[in-house]
Structure formats: structure tokens, C-alpha cells
Amino acid sequence: MENNTEPVKTITLTIDDLPVTVPEGTTILDAAQTIDHAIPAICYHDATTANGLCRVCVVDVNGGRLLQPACILPCQDGMVVQTRNERVERSRRTILEMLNSAVDLAQAPTVQTLLDDYQIDRGRFPGSERREHVLLDDNPFYVRDYSQCLLCWRCVQVCADDAQYTFALTWGDRGFHTHISTAFQVDMPESSCVFCGQCVGVCPTGALKPKIEFGLEHGWSLEQIRENTRRGRKRKP
Ligand code: SF4
Ligand code: FES
């Protein structure tokens, strides 16, 4: 029988002075993983389309002027990539310091680990503006606290064509005030949300939280949990 399987084209490059050969289309992030050189990532998630938003995964490619996001950049033959040089580390540290200055990351354990690993100066930007949003508690299933949102976009994508095809989430406002929202900022029950919970599952921070978990953290009684998980309590500060 004729074999129509195309041979897999491979790419050979250098990562941190080590030769690496991977199938064509492999990102630098995944290629580095094959030699156990983990590149830090925040917005990237295996289950969602990578968008290159947080930039914490930047690497030095061929000594170019601009650092490149490893989560979206495919490997090319002959590339010379540095994932850990001084320029890369300084850039990642600054990104983490800026993120920490604007967003409440207290309930983001993976990000906290990165802040420690990169020994960031947590007071580098004193007086910086913080992203402040009221807690949105408008449905029986989960609460939304966008003060803790680092705009990784995972929830938007898992709600859209990465998984659920519900398209309940988008963004509101612009620039520093950009935030995740329903279309026209309606309450969740008035949106197309089907309360599948996938957004909560991929959120790397405390921005999206199951209502029961929230209630237990805030000392709700069983009666309060029962009552509040049967209806939204409307927007509460
Ligand atoms: S709510 Fe969570 S998943 Fe959605 S963008 Fe913010 S941090 Fe990411
Ligand atoms: S992990 Fe690559 S840009 Fe966020």
C-alpha cells in the first residue's frame, strides 16, 4: 500500500548554547522545554491560544534589538536563542515589577513564585496607579474581582472558540482601564454565559472564584452559602 504520510520537517537551532532539533512549527517555549530550560509564562496556557500578551516569556533571538515572546515565536533553522542572559532577566524583572505595581497578585501563586524567583523590587514604582474594580457578584456560581486580573485573556479565549463557543466575555474600556467584561457590561445572567466554569478553571489569579470558595474565605455560614449560591447578590463593594 502506498504511504502518503509526509515526512515531518525538522528545525535545528541553538538554545542557550545547546543544539536543539524540533518539528517545524514548534515554539521557542516548547523547544526550550525539550532541554529542560523552562521559560516563565503567565498568559500562556496549554488549553488556550497563545497571544503573547504578558511578555514575561521574552527571549533574546540572534542578539536582535527587540526581545521576542517565546510562547508564540516558532523556531527557525539556525536561530541562536538565549533564554537566560542578563538582558532577558532584567526585562522579565521589570515586567513583573510593573505588573505587581498595578494589580493585586496576592492570590496568584504561580505569579508570586515568579516574583520571588526574579527577586523583584516590590516597591520599585511607589505611588503607581492600581487597577481597582468593584467585586462583581451577580450570579449564583462565581464572583469576579477584576482588581486581581492581569489581562491574560485566557478566560476570554476558553469562553470563545478555544473551547466553549459561548463568547460571553470580551473587554471593556481602553488603555490602563481595559478590563474583562461581558458585551455591553451586562450582568452575567443577562449575557450568553452558560456557567460552564471553564473561565474559572484557567484563571491564574483570584479574579474568578467559585462562590462557595469565596463564601468560605469570608466566613459565610452554611445558610448564607446555601442562599447566596442560589442567586446572585448583585454588585457588592
Ligand atoms: S479574569 Fe483571570 S483568566 Fe480572565 S484575563 Fe483576568 S486573570 Fe486572565
Ligand atoms: S507567556 Fe508569552 S507573552 Fe505571556
> Which pLDDT tens digit goes with each residue over 59-85?
999 999 999 999 999 999 999 999 999
Query: How far is the centre of ligand 1, averaged over its atoms, from the C-alpha of 63 (Å)?
Result: 33
Minimum-distance ligand 2 atom for the alpha carbon of 50: 2
Query: How far is the centre of ligand 2, averaged over its atoms, from the C-alpha of 116 (Å)?
Result: 18
Confidence of residue 232 (pLDDT cuts 50, 70, 90): low
Q: Which residues line ligand 2 (CB under 6 A)?
A: 41-44, 52-57, 69, 71
pLDDT of residue 9: 95
Minimum-distance ligand 1 atom for the alpha carbon of 154: 3
Residues 117-140 pLDDT 10s: 999 999 999 999 999 999 999 999
Compare 213 and 230 and report the one with higher pLDDT.
Answer: 213
Q: What is the rounded CA–CA span in Å between residue 199 and residue 196?
A: 8
Minimum-distance ligand 1 atom for the alpha carbon of 150: 7
Confidence of residue 53 (pLDDT cuts 50, 70, 90): very high
Query: How far is the centre of ligand 2, averaged over its atoms, from the C-alpha of 52 (Å)?
Result: 4
pLDDT of residue 146: 96
Binding site membership of 159 for ligand 1 (Cβ less than 6 Å): no
Residues 146-180 pLDDT 10s: 999 999 999 999 999 999 999 999 999 999 999 99
- How large is the average pLDDT for residues 183-190? 93
Residue nearest to atom 7 of ligand 1 (CA): 149
Query: How far is the centre of ligand 1, averaged over its atoms, from the C-alpha of 150 (Å)?
Result: 6
pLDDT of residue 237: 39
What's the sign of the alpha-carbon dihedral 89, 95, 97, 100? negative
Minimum-distance ligand 1 atom for the alpha carbon of 199: 3
Q: What percentage of residues in the chain have a pLDDT greater than 70?
A: 95
Domains of the chain, with CATH numbers? 9-130 (3.10.20.740), 142-228 (3.30.70.20)
Query: How far is the centre of ligand 2, averaged over its atoms, from the C-alpha of 137 (Å)?
Result: 29
**pTM of the predicted protein model:** 0.91
Binding site membership of 59 for ligand 1 (Cβ less than 6 Å): no
pLDDT of residue 3: 62
Query: How far is the centre of ligand 1, averaged over its atoms, from the C-alpha of 203 (Å)?
Result: 5
